[in-house]
Amino acid sequence: MNGRKYMFKDRSDAAEKLKEQLPLDQMKHEKWHLVAVSSGGLELIHHLNKRLQLQKDFLFSAGIYAPKNSECELARVSEYEEIVINDRLVEAFEITYDYIYGEASRKHEEKILSYIYKYRKGEHFEDMQGKTIMLVDEGAESGLKLMGAIKTVLAMNPKAVYVAVPVLPSDLLDSLEPLADEIFLVSSLDDYVETKSYYEEFATVTDEQIEQYLGE
C-alpha cells in the first residue's frame, strides 16, 4: 500500500457519493433521461439507476488528436457530427481547421458508426426534444466530451439539461455552468490532474459491460 488517500474507491463509490447531491425524487417524478458521455459514465449510470429505473443511453463521440501527439486531444466529434474544438491548442500546435474537420469526418465514419452498430444495433441516438436530460461522466480533464454532448443535445431543444460528474476541474466548472441548467458534483478542484488519480480502482469498462448496461 502506498498510503495515498483517494477520493473514491471505485465508480460504485463515486455513484453513491454523487447520489447525495442529486434530486432523486424529482428525477424519478419527472422521468429524467440519463445519458452517458463515456463508458465510465455509463457504469456510473448503472449504479445510479438501480432504484430509479430511468431511461438511459450512451451518446457516442470520438477524440481528434494532434498529428504528432496521440495524447493531446484537440477536438471531439459526436455521433450527430457536432464538433467542439480547443482553439488554444489548435493555434499552439499550428494545426489547420481543415485537418480538424477532415479527422472529424474520418472518426465519425470509422469509429462512431461502428459504435452505433455494435452497441445500439444501428439505431441512432434518440431525439431529446422536450425531454429532461442528465449527462453523466466519471470526471473530465479537457471537458470536450461534456461540451460536445451539451452542444449535441441542446440542438435537439430539450426541456432541460443537467450534468452530473463526481469530480471536475474548477475552471471547467466555470465554463460549463452557463450551458447547463444545473451541475451536480461531489468536488471541484483547482489543481486537477488525470481523472483516474481520484479513483483507487479505475478498471476499463469492457465491451461486455457496455452491452450489459445498455441492455438493462
Mean pLDDT of all residues in 31-44: 98
2 pLDDT more than 70: no
| Joined grid coordinates for residue 215 | 441492455
The answer to whether 83 and 164 are in contact (CB under 8 A) is no
Does an H or E element contain 163, and which?
A: strand 160-169
Task: Name the nearest CA neighbour of 86 among 69, 63, 103, 109.
Answer: 63
Mean pLDDT of all residues in 34-40: 97
Burial of 198 (0-12, 13-18, 19+ CB in 10 A): buried
216 pLDDT more than 90: no
pLDDT band at 1 (very low <50, low <70, confident <90, very high): very low
Cα separations in angstroms, 142 against 4, 46, 104, 134, 205: 25, 24, 17, 19, 20
Phi-psi region of 206 (alpha: psi -120 to 50; beta: other; left: phi over 0): beta
142 pLDDT more than 70: yes
For helices 39-48 and 11-19, give the axis angle rounded to 10 degrees: 60
Mean pLDDT of all residues in 195-204: 96
| Joined grid coordinates for residue 139 | 470526471
What pLDDT shows up at residue 4? 64
Query: From CA 189, how far away is CA 169, in angstroms rounded?
Result: 5
